[in-house]
Amino acid sequence: MVVLTWTNDSSGTWNGLNSIFFTDSTTGYVVGNSGTDFVERHKPIIAKFIIYPNPANEKISVISEGISKQEIDISIFTMNGEQVFQEQFYIQNQVDLDVNLLSKGIYLLKIQSREGIEVKKIVID
């Protein structure tokens, strides 16, 4: 699975930036005041985690794909941005989360590791 995410990056200029145009999923052009322009190329990030089962009603498992023996932060947010869960884990292959106290609905599960951040949609039914 390929995951494309936004990353906050500095433009390296104090000039105002006016427009951005993407020619494909990895290349963007930015233009701005006083002739400012630059090109950004990013490689897609390969997903490192699988969430199972999804939808879920009692527990979900966060399964590592090639990440081992490191700390990860897992947070769950409502679609309104309210954080309803946050905990730090020392992962080897799998973390099980109890979700039976969450109301039915759609949530965002954020996993942060040394390799980056992944955000996955989960459904509680």
Segments forming the whole domain that contains residue 62: 48-124
In sequence order, which residues have a C-beta less than 8 Å from that of residue 51 and are 6 or more positions away? 60, 61, 62, 63, 109, 120, 122
The pLDDT value recorded for residue 40 is: 62
73 located within any domain: yes
- In terms of C-beta distances under 8 Å and separation of at least 24 residues, what long-range contacts does 61-70 make, across chains too? 61/94, 61/95, 61/96, 61/97, 62/91, 62/94, 62/95, 62/96, 62/97, 62/109, 62/111, 63/93, 63/94, 64/91, 64/92, 64/93, 64/94, 67/91, 67/113, 67/115, 68/92, 68/93, 70/113, 70/114
Token duo for residue 75: 């947070």
DSSP 56: B
Token duo for residue 76: 């769950």
Token duo for residue 52: 């199972």
User: How many folded domains does the chain comprise?
Assistant: 2
**Rounded to two decimals, what is the model's pTM?**
0.62
- Does residue 20 share a domain with residue 68? no
The pLDDT value recorded for residue 68 is: 62
- Does residue 37 share a domain with residue 53? no
9 located within any domain: no
The pLDDT value recorded for residue 96 is: 92
- Does residue 57 share a domain with residue 111? yes
The pLDDT value recorded for residue 36 is: 56
Q: What is the pLDDT of residues 49-98, one digit of tens each?
A: 889 999 999 999 998 876 667 788 999 999 988 999 999 988 677 889 99
Q: What is the pLDDT of residues 7-64, one digit of tens each?
A: 666 666 677 777 777 777 667 777 777 765 666 666 555 667 889 999 999 999 998 8
- Does residue 92 share a domain with residue 77? yes
